[in-house]
Amino acid sequence: MVSSLLVDALARPSVLLQDLANVPDDAQDLPARVSKYFGDIFASDDAFNEITQLGLETPPESLTPRSLVRFDAMVQDTACSPEIYLSKRSSGECGGWGLNEHDATDDDPSPVDYNLLRECNVIWAVSIPGQSPWSSSQGDLGVAPSTTPAPSPLSHKYPLPSTAHLGVQIKIYDSTLAEPIRTTDLYSFVGILTSDPWHTSSETVTLVPTIHVLFARQIASTIVPRAFPASFESPVREVREHLISWVADEALAGDKLAAEWVLLAVMSKVQSRAPPILPLSLNLTGFGPSTASNPKLTHVLSQLVPMLAVLPLSLNVVNSTTFVPESKDEDLHSGWLQLPKGSLCIVSEVSMDEGTVSQKGVYNLRTIQDTMSNQTLDYVFPFSQFSFETDISFLVLSAGKKSPFFRTQLQVPLRGSTDTGLYAPDASLIRLPSPETLSEYRNLIGGGKIANITLEESTAKFIQDDFVKERQAASSKNAGKTGDVVTSDDLIIRMMVAKLLAASYHRPEVTREIWEEAKALDERRKARLD
């Protein structure tokens, strides 16, 4: 019974929809009933995975119109004007979901009953920017993503320029579903695929792939479900140790300290807005310049984190591309930094040449800095700016001794011990561990990202005393001069490091040992700075 319904839903969603509309139910609005009905049919993961998934390998053009599809996407634009549709035709057929739009009711003389008009929310959604192939269920197919940019009709609405992606117009009829949707949110939209015009202010009307949503599911920021604390095959300390060694050996010329900091940085996230406890930004310095190849670190990290955007700063990129979403002619153009919450953004300065940074470039660089330090991104609208909260961990790779543009909370100069290079033309030079081990690594990082770390009262007291003691000692040593005294900023960083350290051990609490270890780690980092 259920299975036949499932088959029907997969094959003929429009018919099911029409049937549902024909069963009157005054208690609930049709859109809400539709969401529930289809949501229930595909409640199980097995059923859900049956739905054809839109992707670069299965682009909308390859599918027949009005087939049921699923699109895992990032919401890019919610500023589109809602659409008003007639929920019931004079013939009694239901409207919406692109149904019955094409029948010949041209001669319909009856007046429009405005009470039958309903609103449908229109948004623009794009493939999840920077999603690592391993984290998408499509990646399992083993198909190498095509390198040629997909001919997405509105490529200015994708954050990463000249990157293959899909862009789809999403029409949501259920207002309770549409209400909470914000830009950069991640959703699996399930609905009926059609090709509808995209309404812009320009004369030309472009037809774009459109999903008339039946129901949607929110996607977790880790994309793949994670647990904290997670269970591991081998002791977590070992997994962690191996992970650090692997990152150090493959990407950082054997520098384990840097690798450990990278590990902590990629796990950090926005914990609170008021007071602001934001992700730690990390600057790895001493990479040496490179014009052609990418740092190996980007290849290695793409194996570990689900969403990784690499922002290759060059004069050209800084001066001529957009970093911030901007509404032009009432169309929200995307920018490099319009990334989903939970993303890792690697800002690579290594291929920066000498030259002039234009005014736009300065603005762009400043935007990165602001996003890094405030975790908000100001979208530009005509005569106004709107601030949107972000949650992006930043990792800045600098060629020289320090970043010329950015102030990060943490700075780690690279001290390679082996002479394996830091750069590689492509990912093929990276030696991958066994799939099982790799999966454990991902599990460790993913779990750490959602960790909820607490601090016990006694540890808190210990930390306070420690801080006061240190300051006293420092001030007596410097005879009144405030030289190398531990500042409140230092305390804040240490606290955050301690929490991240606990998360990386999959321990739910900061203990005295972890605090000491965090301090030691920070001391070792600082020692390199002098």
Partner 1 sequence: MSSPPPLDFPTSDLDAEMEDGTAKSAAGSGRGPLFLPGTPSAAGTPARHRGSDAPGSDVFRSAVARRAVGLPATPRRGKDPLFLAGNSSSPMAFPSSTPAKTPRRSGAQMMDSDPLDFPTSPATVAPQTPRHRRGDIHPTINFTPTSSARRARRNTRDPSNLNSDGTNLDIPMSSAAPHLSAAPVPSDEPDEIRAIWGTTVSLSDTMKMFRDFIQGFKPKYRAQYDRENGIPTKPFQTPEDAEVVLYEQYLRRMRRTGDTNLNIDVINIMVYPHSKKLHGQLIKYPQEVIPVMDQVLKDLMVELAELDHEAGAEGMEGQEGEEEIADIISKVYKVRPFGLPSVNMRNLNPTDTDKLVCIKGLVIRATPVIPDMKVAFFRCLTCQHTVQVEIDRGKIEEPARCSREVCGQVGTMTMIHNRCEFADRQVIRLQETPDAVPDGQTPHTVSLSVYDELVDVAKPGDRLVITGIFRSVPTRVNPRMRTMKSLFKTYIDAVHIKLGGGGTLGFDKTTRPAQGDRAPGVAGVGDGGDEDEEGDGGLSRKAEMEKRIRELSERDDIYDVLSHSVAPSIWELDDIKKGILLQLFGGTNKSVARGGGGGGPRYRGDINVLLVGDPGTSKSQILQYVHKIAPRGVYTSGKGSGALVLSDGGVCCIDEFDKMSDATRSVLHEVMEQQTVSIAKAGIITTLNARTSILAAANPVGSKYDVDLPVTRNIDLPPTLISRFDLLYLVLDQVDENLDRKLAQHLVSLYLEDKPAVESEDILQLPELSAYIDYARNNVHPIITEHAGEELVTCYVEMRKLGEDSRNNEKRITATTRQLESMIRLSEGHARMRLSPLVELEDVREAYRLMKEAIRTSAMDPRTGKIDMSLLNTGTGSGQRKLREDMRKAVLDMISAGGKNRNIKWSDVVRQLNEQSSVKVDTADFNEVIKALENEGLIKVVGEREKRVIRKID
Residues 256-285 contacting partner 1, CB under 8 A? 271-272, 274-277
**Rounded CA gap, 449 and 455, in Å?**
17
Q: Which is nearer to partner 1, 106 or 419 (CB)?
A: 106
Among 10, 56, 86, 438, binds partner 1 (CB under 8 A): 86
By CB under 8 A, how many residues form the interface with partner 1? 83
Q: Which is nearer to partner 1, 90 or 137 (CB)?
A: 90
Token reading at 240: 């962690």
Nearest distance from residue 206's CB to partner 1, in Å?
10
- Please identify which residue in the block is written with the tokens 């692997």: 246
Q: What residues numbered 23-82 form the site for partner 1, per CB under 8 A?
A: 77-79, 81-82
Token reading at 98: 């692109």
Q: Say if residues 265 and 395 touch (Cβ distance below 8 Å).
A: yes
Q: Which is nearer to partner 1, 179 or 419 (CB)?
A: 179
Q: Any contact of residue 382 with partner 1 (CB under 8 A)? A: yes
Nearest distance from residue 446's CB to partner 1, in Å?
17
Q: What are phi and psi of 310, to 5 degrees?
A: -100, 125
Q: Any contact of residue 383 with partner 1 (CB under 8 A)? A: yes
Nearest distance from residue 32's CB to partner 1, in Å?
16
Beta strands in 227-375 (DSSP E): 282-285, 294-295, 308-312, 326-328, 331-333, 343-348
- Please identify which residue in the block is written with the tokens 């509808």: 196
Q: Which is nearer to partner 1, 82 or 421 (CB)?
A: 82
Residue 388: which H helix or E strand, with range? strand 384-389
Using DSSP, state whether 525 is helix, strand or coil: helix
Q: What are phi and psi of 392, to 5 degrees?
A: -120, 125
Among 14, 18, 105, 319, binds partner 1 (CB under 8 A): 105
Q: Which is nearer to partner 1, 92 or 382 (CB)?
A: 382
User: Helix and strand tally (H, E) in the chain?
Assistant: 14, 20
Q: Say if residues 393 and 405 touch (Cβ distance below 8 Å).
A: no
Nearest distance from residue 79's CB to partner 1, in Å?
4
Q: What residues numbered 426-485 form the site for partner 1, per CB under 8 A?
A: 452-455, 457, 460, 463-464, 467-468, 471-472, 474-475, 480-483, 485
Q: Which is nearer to partner 1, 52 or 271 (CB)?
A: 271
**Non-local CB neighbours of 177 within 8 Å, separated by 6+ positions:** 31, 35, 213, 215, 216
Nearest distance from residue 173's CB to partner 1, in Å?
13
Q: Any contact of residue 102 with partner 1 (CB under 8 A)? A: yes
Nearest distance from residue 340's CB to partner 1, in Å?
14
Residue type, 257: L
Longest CA–CA separation in the chain, Å: 94
For residue 230, which of 489, 442, 4, 80 has the smallest C-alpha distance?
442
Q: What are phi and psi of 206, to 5 degrees?
A: -105, 140
Nearest distance from residue 176's CB to partner 1, in Å?
15
Q: What residues numbered 177-206 form the site for partner 1, per CB under 8 A?
A: 182-183, 196-197, 199, 201-203, 205
Q: Any contact of residue 115 with partner 1 (CB under 8 A)? A: yes
Among 389, 513, 516, 523, binds partner 1 (CB under 8 A): 389
